[in-house]
Structure 1
Amino acid sequence: MTDCQGDGEGANSPMGLYEKLTAQGDKVRTLKTAKAEKAEIDAAVQLLLKLKVDYKQMTGQDYRAGCPPSENSVVPDNGPAADGADDEDTVDPWNVSTTSAKGVDYDKLIVRFGSSKIEKELVDRIEKVSGQRAHRFLRRGIFFSHRDMHQVLDAYEKHKSFYLYTGRGPSSEAMHVGHLIPFIFTKWLQDVFDIPLVIQLTDDEKYLWKDLTLEECHRFAVENAKDIIACGFDVNKTFIFSDLDYMGASPEFYRNVVKVQKHVTFNQVKGIFGFTDSDCIGKISFPAIQAAPSFSNSFPQIFGGRKDIQCLIPCAIDQDPYFRMTRDVAPRIGYPKPALLHSTFFPALQGAQTKMSASDANSSIFLTDTPKQIKNKINKHAFSGGKDTVEEHRKYGGNADVDVSFMYLTFFLEDDEQLEKIRQDYTSGALLTGELKKILIETLQPMIAQHQERRKQVTDETVKQFMTPRPLNFNF
C-alpha cells in the first residue's frame, strides 16, 4: 500500500488517479474501522466506485491496490480492455462492484461478455432432458447466462455424455455461504445427469495474488476441500485436486497448460485480465492452468487418453474471462470448447454493491458461524429495503429488490410460493424488516448447523480419497 496522498492534484494522469484511489480506499477503511456514520461511509464508498470507473476509462485497466499503472497506461482505441469501460459495473475475476443497490446489471453484462441469457425455454429443456424439476437457482435466474448449454443437451440426448468442472480459490480457512452457490448447483447437476466432476483448488493462484505462504495456501485448499465434500458429493464420481499437488504429478495436465500458454499472447492476457508490466510472471501464465481442466485428457486416470468429452463449467460470471480465453484456444489445439453456466453474485450483508469478502468477517455469514453469530450479523448488518419507521413501512411497504435478507432467501428458501408471499407481504408493508430478518435467520441457522455436522464427519482419510487421482464410476 503506498502512502502517497494524491489529493486531486495530477489526478488527470493515470498515476495521479491511482494515488487518489489508494488514498480514498484508505479513507473508506478508516471510516469503517472507526464505525463512522453509515451515510458518511456510503458517500466515501460511492466516491471510491466513481474513481474506479474513471480509472478504468483512463487506463483500460481495473484498479488494483498495490499495482500502479504502467507509465504508458492509456485506453487502447479498441480491444477487450476498453470493453464496457463506460459501464458503472466492474466485473473481473478479482473485483466486483456496482453503484446500484440492486446489484450488477446482469443483462448489460451478458451483452458485454457475449454470452446467452438462460431463457425459460432452456430451463424447460433441462427439466425434460434430466427428468427432474429444475433447481431453484435455474427457476429464479440465479444461474442466468450460458455458453453452448443447448449443444451439451443435444449431445446428451444422443447418449453422448459430458463432465463437470468447477473450482475454488482457497484464500482463507473458512468459507462463507456465498462460496457454496456453485457447489450446491454442481452437486445437483452431478446427481441429475449422473456424471463425473473435477474440482480445481487454485492454491497456486492465491499464492501469486495474496500475501500468503505456499504452505498456508495449500493448507487452506485442504480445509476448503472439507467444506466442499460436506456438500454431499459422490466420492465415486468426484476428483478434487490442488494445483500445487496435481500439476507436478500429471504430465498430461501440464502438457495442456503448455499448449494453452503457447497459443495466448502477452497482449491478449493484458487485454483480458488487465495485467500490467509490474505483475509477476506467475500471474500472466496462471490463466492457462485454470484452462487445462476444461480438456478431458488432462485427467488420464478418469478419461484415459480421450480428448473428445465435452466439459460443462458452472461458475460465477466473474470467472468467465478465463473461459472466453479457453474457448478461443480450444479448437486451435484440437479440443472441444467448454460450455458454461454462469451465476449471479452473492451479495455482501451490507448490500449488493459488492460481492462478499472472506477477509471481512461482517460482510458475510461464514460456515463456521454459531446460531448466535448468524442472528447478530443479520440483525446488525443486513442491508434493509424497509422504511425508517414502522408507520411509514406499513403505509408504503419495503423494497425487496435491494433488501439483502430477501436476496439471501431467494438463494436458500426452497418453496417458490412461500418466497413470493414474503415478497408481496414485504412490498405491501404487511411484513416488517425485523420479521423478514427473522425468517432468514430461521432458514440459515439449521442449514449451517447441518453443514457443520456433515463437515465433522469428513476425516483426513476422506479428503485423501477425494484428492487421490483414480478412475471414477461413469458410463460414456
Structure 2
Amino acid sequence: MAETDKKEQVVTPWDVSAEDQIDYNKLINDFGSQRIDAALLEKFAGAIDVPLHQFLTRGIFFSHRDMNQFLTNYIATKAGEAKNAFYLYTGRGPSSGSLHMGHLVPMRFTKWLQDALDIPLVIQLTDDEKFLWRDIEFDTVRQLAIDNAKDIIACGFNPERTFIFRDSDYYQDMYETILSCQRATTMGTSKAAFGFTEESNIGKASFPPVQAAPSFPTAFPHIFGKDLSKKAKGAITCLIPCAIDQDPYFRLSRDYASKLGCNKPALLHSVFLPSLAGAGTKMSASATDGSIFVTDSMDTIKAKIEKVVPVAETVAEAGDDVSLEWLKFFLEDDAEFNKLCEDRLAGAVSGVAIRDRLVAVLQDMAAEFQARRAAVTDEDVEKFFSKRSLY
C-alpha cells in the first residue's frame, strides 16, 4: 500500500509522488528488498558474455530480491553443473495508445537481459486491470493492448523466444494458477498490500493474483508442459525486471510460491524516470505535457522539453538538473555522460546546453524507434501472441 513519511512520499502501483525526490533508501527499508551492490554487479558481469547494461552500472536498477541465488543457479547451469531453466517476465498496462519514455526503461533493460542471459520472455498486457481502474470501454482497452504490443515488439525482442499475451485472451490458460493464488490471498492481505477500501470494486481486490500468476511456470502450459512435477517446478525460476512500484504484486508471488510448489521469483527493481517537470513524480501517460511519447514528432519533443524542463541556473542546482537525470537514462556513451556531469558541476557548461543535448538524444531515439515501429506488421503481432514453446 502507500508508503508515506513526513515528506508525504507515496509509492503504489498506481500513484508515485513526493514533495522532493523519491527516497529510494526508504523504499528498500520499507519493502524489505536489497540494494544492488558492487559484489552483485561483479557476479553478474562474470555470469554473462557481454558488458553490464548502463542501467546497472549507473544505479537505475538499484534493488533486488534473490538475484544472488538466481545468478548462482544460472552460473551452475551454464557450466553444466546443474539443470535449471529460467525465464523473464515483465508487463505493461495499456492505458494509452503508445508507450512513453518511462515505459521504455524496463523494456530496454528486459531486452538486454533476454540477450545477455539467452532465456525466454513472457510479457503480460493487463487489459483487465485498466478496465477495472479506468473509465474506459473494454473494446478500447483491448485495442490499446495491441497498439502497445506493436511498440513493445519494436524494442527488438527475439520473436522465437518471446510470448506476449493479453490477460483477456490468455486468462483460461492461467486460470488454475490464478485460482491457487486467489485462494492463498485473504481480503485483509489484499487491503493491506494495496490499500483497497470498502468502496473499491471487487474486481480490483481479485486482480493482484492475476498479475502474480505469470511468476510461476504453471501459468504457461504451452511452454513448460501441463503437468509439472514437483521436481520440474523446482528447476524453473522466473526473473522479473520492473519499477519498484510494482513490487507489492510480487511480494505476494513470493508468498504464494511454497503453496504452489514453485520457486520464488527473483526481482530487479528500477528507479522511476521523473516527469519532465521534476524529480518528485514519475512519468505518466495521463500527464502529456510532462511525458515524451515514442510517437511524438521531433518538433513536439523539442517543444515539450523547452516548455516544461526547468533549467538549473547555478552550479549548486546542477545536482538536481532534470536534463542530466534524463541523460543518465538515455545517453548511452559513458564517457560523454560523465564529462557532461563533471562540466556541469564545474560550471563549464550551462543548463541550457545540457537541455539541448537531451533534446538531441531523445530526438535520435524517437526517430530510430519510429522507423522500427513502422515496420511492425499485424503478422508480427500474431507471431508474438501465438502459443508455442520458447525453448
The alignment's TM-score, normalised by the length of structure 2, stands at 0.94
- Alpha-carbon distance in 2 for matches of 1:87, 1:441: 31
Partner of 1:41: none
Give the equivalent residue in structure 2 for 1:337: 264
The match for 1:163 is: 87
Q: Does 1:427 align with 2:331?
A: no
Other-structure match for 2:185: 264
Deviations along 1:291-310, whole A, 9 cap, x unmatched? 11000121111111443310
1:188 corresponds to which residue?
Answer: 112
Query: Counterparts in 2 of 1:325-404, with a 5 A limit?
Result: 325-384=252-311, 386-387=312-313, 393=314, 397-404=315-322
Distance 1:378 1:217 in 2: 29
How big is the shift at 1:264? 0.8
Tell me, which stretches of 5 or more residues in structure 1 are unaligned?
Answer: 1-60, 63-82, 388-392
| Distance in structure 1 (CA, Å) of the matches to 2:271 and 2:277 | 17
> Is residue 142–residue 344 contact of structure 1 (8 Å, CA) maintained in 2?
yes
Q: What letter corresponds to residue 241 of structure 1 in structure 2?
A: F
Give the Å deviation of 1:230.
0.3
How many residues align? The count is: 379
- Report the residue type matching 1:363 in the other structure: G
Partner Cα separation in structure 2 for residue 469 and residue 333 of structure 1:
23
Deviation at 1:409, TM superposition (A): 0.3
How do residues 266-281 of structure 1 correspond to structure 2 at under 5 angstroms?
A: 266-281=187-202
Residue 247 of structure 2 aligns to which amino acid in structure 1?
D
Amino acid at match of 2:356: K
1:285 match: 206
* Per-residue CA distance 1:366-400 (angstroms, 9 max, x = gap): 1011111111111111122x22xxxxx4xxx2533
CA 1:449/1:295 → structure 2, altered by over 3 Å: closer, same or farther? Answer: same
CA displacement 1:237-261 (0-9 Å, x = unmatched): 000000011113x1xx100000010
Rounded to whole Å, the distance in 2 between the matches of 1:86 and 1:162 is 41
Q: Which residue of 2 aligns with 1:204?
A: 128
Gaps of 5+ in 2: 78-83
Contact 1:379/1:434, CA 8 A, preserved across alignment: no
Q: Is the 8 A contact 1:155 1:161 kept in 2?
A: no
Taking the aligned partners of 2:302 and 2:6, their CA distance within structure 1 comes to 39
Is the 2:7–2:19 contact (alpha carbons within 8 Å) kept by the matching residues of 1?
no
- Distance in 2, matches of 1:351 and 1:450, equals 26
Q: For residue 9 of structure 2, what is the aligned residue in structure 1? A: 89
Question: What residue identity is the alignment partner of 1:91?
Answer: V
Q: Is the 8 A contact 2:16 2:282 kept in 1?
A: yes
Letter in 2 for 1:281: I
Q: Secondary structure at the match of 1:399?
A: helix
Quick check: 2:7–2:18 contact (8 Å CA) kept in 1? no
CA distance in 2: counterparts of 1:161 and 1:295, whole angstroms: 12
2:200 maps to amino acid: D
3-state SS of 1:109 partner? helix
Q: Which amino acid aligns with 2:332?
A: E
Letter in 2 for 1:141: G
2:214 matches 1:296: no
Show the 5 A alignment for 1:3-402: 62=2, 88-100=8-20, 103-159=21-77, 160-248=84-172, 250=173, 253-305=174-226, 306=228, 307-308=233-234, 309-384=236-311, 386-387=312-313, 393=314, 397-402=315-320
Tell me the C-alpha RMSD between the 2 structures: 1.3
Name the amino acid aligned to 1:426. Answer: R
Distance (whole Å) between structure 2 residues aligned to residue 207 and residue 195 of structure 1: 31
Residue aligning to 1:452: 370
Which residue in 1 is equivalent to 2:81? Answer: none
Q: Deviations over 1:149-187 (max 9, x none)?
A: 011111111212310000000001021111010010000
Distance in 1, Cα, partners of 2:114 & 2:338: 28
| Cα shift readout 1:89-113 (whole Å, capped 9, x = no counterpart) | 110101101111xx21111110110
How far did residue 446 of structure 1 move?
1.1
- 1:207 and 1:348 map into 2 onto residues whose CA distance is 25
Are the counterparts in 2 of residues 398 and 428 from structure 1 also a CA contact under 8 Å? no
Q: What secondary structure, in the 3-state scheme, does the structure 2 residue paired with 1:401 have?
A: helix
Deviation by residue 1:11-38 (Cα, 9 ceiling, x = unmatched): xxxxxxxxxxxxxxxxxxxxxxxxxxxx
**Highest RCO, 1 vs 2 (Cα 8 Å, sep ≥ 6):** 2
Q: Distance in 1 between matches of 2:6 and 2:88?
A: 35
Identify if the C-alpha distance between structure 1 residues 364 and 105 changes in structure 2 by more than 3 Å, giving closer, same or farther: same
> 1:146, 1:115 → 2: CA distance?
6
Cα distance, 1:87 vs structure 2 = 5.9
In the TM superposition, residue 349 of structure 1 has moved relative to its aligned partner by: 0.4
Task: Give the equivalent residue in structure 2 for 1:470.
Answer: 388
In the aligned structure 1, how far is the partner of 2:49 from the partner of 2:382?
Answer: 34
TM superposition shift of 1:86: 5.1
Larger radius of gyration: 1
Equivalent pair of 2:294/2:370 in contact (CA under 8 Å): yes
* Cα distance per residue 1:103-150 (max 9 Å; x no partner): 211111101100000001111111100122110000000000000001
Identity of aligned residues (%): 51
Q: Hey, what does 1:408 align to over in structure 2?
A: 326
For the residue of structure 2 that corresponds to 1:352, the secondary structure is strand
Query: Any idea what SS the aligned residue of 1:332 has?
Result: helix
In structure 2, the CA distance between the partners of 1:133 and 1:416, relative to structure 1 (3 Å rule), is same
CA distance, structure 2, for counterparts of residue 289 and residue 383 of structure 1: 40
- 1:398–1:426 Cα contact (<8 Å) kept: no
Q: How far apart, in 2, do the equivalents of 1:267 and 1:85 lie? A: 23
